[in-house]
């Protein structure tokens, strides 16, 4: 039997939450609903309190990812559901995600269709991310940036230290699950137009999302990202060297630079691969230590009870 915690990061989403929270409570009457108020300047906190949900407030805006981490730390359920507070995610879709977890999956993600993308530019960017992630993980990734997902709490909390404070927590958590051998499934969903104004800026966040593409590779399998780049430099070096050898009969400085660059890029990828392995090994060891600590606490408690019983008998 599972207990459910639903976490909604919110920044100035008062208007959307007025209609969304009653729908969510009606759909999931027994769930723990946590709204993380990320430095809102409107009546977001008041709306949440009037609807009887738990409110975790940041004194200033710390980012979507930081709100997700705060919500996960405060959640008591063994199943976590993450949703946007802008009304795009439908409470009626939650049971479909939970069904996958009941069938043995570790994380179920709501995959948006083409009509659910905010714009053509966002849709093109998401398609690029999905294809890159599919290449790196060797699994089909249908929606890398979807913030609507259900996940087993113990497994998600293993990777809290990896999650960024910005908007890329879905990317990081998905890649972390694939890298650790946890099962991920995608459930098709349709999302309506959001309520209120988006907090994303096309120019600013476009550059940031390009950086996320490289982060995807280095987070999961760095050599799959660095090796093609290294081969591209090496191929260019060979082609240029061949040209200068037959035309001028010499080995040029540019050829040497290109060959050196190809070797350096490969070595950087090799070192990144080792660092990535150590990061996930640390996460695994940390999980074992937590379990061991919990077990020791139980043993200490049992020992205290045994000593107390013996004293009672002697008296």
Q: Write down the pLDDT at residue 94.
A: 95
Query: What pLDDT was estimated at residue 119?
Result: 52
pLDDT above 90 covers what percent of the chain?
Answer: 50
- pLDDT for 210 equals 67
Q: What is the model's pLDDT at position 300?
A: 44
Tell me the pLDDT of the chain averaged across its residues.
Answer: 83
Q: What is the pLDDT of residue 284?
A: 64
Residue 56 has pLDDT above 70, yes or no: yes
Nearest to 173 by CA among 143, 138, 128, 204: 143
Distance, CA of 246 to CA of 239 (rounded, Å): 11
Q: What is the per-residue pLDDT for 298?
A: 45
Q: How far is CA 55 from CA 38, 111, 268, in A?
A: 10, 28, 44
Query: Would you say how long the chain is, in residues?
Result: 315
Taking 80 as the threshold, does the pLDDT of residue 6 lie above it? Answer: yes
* From the candidate CATH numbers 3.50.50.60, 3.90.550.10, 1.25.40.10, 3.40.50.2300, the one assigned to the domain spanning 4-203: 3.90.550.10
Give dist(CA 116, CA 295) in Å, integer: 46
Percent of the chain with pLDDT over 70: 80
Predicted local distance difference test score (pLDDT) of residue 77? 94
Task: Output the pLDDT for position 214.
Answer: 76
Is 161:152 a contact under the CB 8 Å cutoff?
A: no
206-263 pLDDT, tens per residue? 566 667 777 777 877 888 889 999 999 999 999 999 999 888 888 889 999 999 999 9
166, 114 in Cβ contact below 8 A? no
pLDDT in tens, 129-178: 888 888 888 888 888 888 999 999 999 998 898 888 887 789 889 988 98
> Does residue 295 or residue 6 have the better pLDDT?
6
Specify the pLDDT at position 96.
95
pLDDT of residue 28 exceeding 70, the answer is yes
In angstroms, the CA 141 to CA 133 distance is 6
């Amino acid at each position: 039997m599972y207990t459910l915690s639903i976490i909604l990061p919110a920044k100035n989403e008062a208007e959307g939450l007025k209609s969304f929270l009653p729908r969510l409570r009606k759909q999931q009457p027994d769930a723990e609903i946590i709204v993380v108020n990320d430095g809102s300047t409107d009546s977001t906190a008041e709306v949440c309190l009037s609807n009887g949900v738990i409110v975790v407030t940041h004194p200033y805006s710390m980012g979507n990812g930081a709100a997700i981490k705060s919500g996960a730390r405060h959640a008591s359920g063994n199943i976590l559901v993450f949703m946007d507070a802008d009304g795009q995610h439908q409470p009626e879709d939650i049971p479909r995600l939970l069904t996958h977890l009941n069938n043995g999956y570790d994380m179920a993600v709501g995959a948006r269709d083409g009509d659910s993308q905010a714009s053509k530019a966002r849709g093109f960017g998401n398609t690029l991310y999905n294809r890159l992630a599919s290449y790196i993980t060797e699994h089909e990734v249908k929606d890398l940036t979807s913030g609507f997902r259900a996940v087993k709490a113990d497994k998600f909390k293993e990777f809290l230290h990896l999650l960024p404070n910005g908007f890329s927590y879905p990317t990081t958590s998905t890649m972390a699950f694939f890298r650790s051998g946890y099962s991920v499934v995608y459930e098709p969903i349709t999302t309506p137009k959001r309520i209120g104004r988006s907090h994303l800026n096309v120019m600013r966040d476009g550059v940031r999302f390009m950086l996320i593409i490289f982060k995807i590779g280095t987070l999961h399998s760095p050599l799959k990202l660095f090796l093609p780049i290294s081969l591209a430099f090496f191929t260019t070096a060979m082609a240029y060297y061949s040209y200068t050898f037959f035309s001028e009969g010499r080995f040029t400085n540019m050829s040497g630079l290109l060959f050196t660059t190809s070797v350096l890029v490969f070595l950087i990828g090799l070192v990144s691969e080792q660092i990535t392995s150590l990061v996930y090994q640390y996460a695994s060891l940390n999980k074992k230590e937590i379990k061991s600590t919990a077990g020791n606490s139980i043993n200490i408690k049992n020992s205290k009870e045994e000593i107390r019983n013996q004293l009672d008998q002697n008296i």
